[in-house]
Amino acid sequence: MTVPISWYLVLASVLFAIGTVGALTRRNGITIFLSIELMLNAVNLMILAYARLLGDQAGQVIVFFVLAVAAAEAAIGLALFIAVYRLRRTIDVNRLNLLRW
């Protein structure tokens, strides 16, 4: 039996919500990135679900782009955090507030 589309959508939404909460509330930078990746993947899932539903192959291609962007962004972000860690010995975002007033 085919999995109803709504299951995919719900799953994607739940993952997105989890990712959002994580991105907003976690202190560890790596965890924030993890959450952002989760959000991206949730969106991917949703796109694929719709693509499958509507039979539009363009959706599949979009996912590739999103994955590439996610990878690039993760790479740069992690590089930034390495640099910050070398300087400040921490990646606790609460403590990285040099731009405070």
Toward other proteins, which CB reaches closer, 1 or 99?
99
Of 1-9, 19-27, 59-67, 75-83, the window that binds other proteins (rule: CB under 8 A) is 19-27
CB of 16 to other proteins, least distance (A): 12
CB of 100 to other proteins, least distance (A): 3
Helix/strand/coil (H/E/C) assignment for every residue in the chain: CCCCHHHHHHHHHHHHHHHHHHHHHCCEHHHHHHHHHHHHHHHHHHHHHHHHHHCCCHHHHHHHHHHHHHHHHHHHHHHHHHHHHHHHCCCEHHHCCCCCC
CB of 55 to other proteins, least distance (A): 26
Contact status: 23 vs other proteins (CB under 8 A): yes
